[in-house]
Chains A and B, each alone.
Chain A
């Protein structure tokens, strides 16, 4: 089974701090994604990557950046955390495989609180 591991389950940070959220997958997937989840809004795509050193903006990239230096690792960076970035952050990966399905596998999530 594909495993997607997020480094921190819960984080509490202060406004203005730099925050790193790490995500690692172990099945050689090409595609990796960062979503944030807020009540009533579903999941919204922040950034995604389809190859090492490649990144694409999602629907809400403002205030975030990403890094993909290795195929298995995709990092989300909040350069200067703000209270409106308090949220659940979900990492996912996918690969087209033989069927071309790009079925998403999610990590357990990282709940970030910015004070």
Chain B
């Protein structure tokens, strides 16, 4: 099956710093989503982005499908950004997503 690798596995930032999270995948995809899991375990969808660039406030994401990677940018980080960020992908017409192992982000006050 498709492989998904996320980097870095852990990231510690000072509040106000910017960061870039990366997701590499091993095959072409028609579905790519980014999620944030808060410290209480709730997963929230951030972006549906199989290609191109999207922005939502301080967060933005870019997927370069031809090169099989996606980037999540967090600007002016806040302590509430802490948690685990997951990338998930699906090839072709598959309905089920395969998740990466996540990036644990800690933002210090």
> Which one of A59, A92, A102, A103 contacts B1 once the chains associate, using CB atoms below 8 Å?
A59
* B7 close to A (CB within 8 Å): no
> Which one of B31, B40, B43 contacts A90 once the chains associate, using CB atoms below 8 Å?
B43
Given the interface contacts A103-B48, A104-B88, A109-B42, does A45 sit within 8 Å of B33 by beta carbon? no
Q: Are B86 and A45 in contact (CB under 8 A)?
A: no
Q: Are B43 and A48 in contact (CB under 8 A)?
A: no
- Size of B's binding interface in residues, CB under 8 A: 23
Shortest distance in angstroms between B77's beta carbon and chain A's nearest beta carbon? 22
Write out, one digit per residue, whether chain B residues 39-61 have a CB within 8 A of any chain A CB (1) or not (0): 01111110010000000000000
* B97 close to A (CB within 8 Å): yes
* B101 close to A (CB within 8 Å): yes
Q: Are A88 and B88 in contact (CB under 8 A)?
A: no
Most chain A C-beta atoms within 10 Å of own C-beta, residue among B41, B86, B90: B41
> Which one of A35, A88, A102 contacts B95 once the chains associate, using CB atoms below 8 Å?
A102
Q: Are B96 and A48 in contact (CB under 8 A)?
A: yes
* B102 close to A (CB within 8 Å): yes
Q: Are B45 and A45 in contact (CB under 8 A)?
A: no
Given the interface contacts A42-B86, A42-B102, A43-B86, does A104 sit within 8 Å of B97 by beta carbon? yes
Q: Are A42 and B1 in contact (CB under 8 A)?
A: no
Shortest distance in angstroms between A10's beta carbon and chain B's nearest beta carbon? 11
Q: List 10 A–B pairs whose Cβ atoms lie within 8 Å, in order of A's numbering.
A: A31-B95, A33-B96, A35-B99, A48-B95, A50-B95, A59-B98, A103-B48, A104-B35, A106-B42, A108-B41
A residues adjacent to B (C-beta < 8 A): 31, 33, 35, 40-45, 48, 50, 56, 58-59, 88, 90, 92, 94, 101-106, 108-109, 111
